[in-house]
Amino acid sequence: MGRFLEEARRQFPMIIVDSSSLARTANAQLLSRGVNGVLLVARAGKTPSTGLSCDVQALLSVEAPLLGTVLNGCDQSLRLRTAGIEEPKEVSRAYA
């Protein structure tokens, strides 16, 4: 995989690699050593916070360049409230 990434870097300005879950395999940790950045993806209501914390620690233990976390599956009204935006009536009816 290391040679593949080296070759891809020579040919492309940006490479995005989607990896399996950290909980299922160590490949994600190994792969994280050869990339410029790692985004940890979690699903709202499905990914336990303890699991997410363990994943962060596992990435940090191999000095992975952790850029941040993406939270998928959020409720639209929760996203608006978190951003401090009042929910328009059209949005609330569409998601009711």
Whether the pLDDT of residue 95 is over 70: the answer is: no
For residues 72 and 61, give the distance between their C-alpha atoms in angstroms, rounded to a whole number.
25
pTM > 0.85: no
* Residues ≥6 apart with Cβ < 8 Å to 58: 22, 29
For 6-43, how does the pLDDT look when each residue is reduced to its tens digit (9 = 90+)? 888 899 888 787 777 776 666 667 777 777 888 888 88
Residue matched to tokens 């914390």 = 53
Q: Across all residues in the chain, what is the average pLDDT? A: 75
The pLDDT value given to residue 59? 84
As a whole number, mean pLDDT of residues 45-74 equals: 85
The pLDDT value given to residue 62? 82
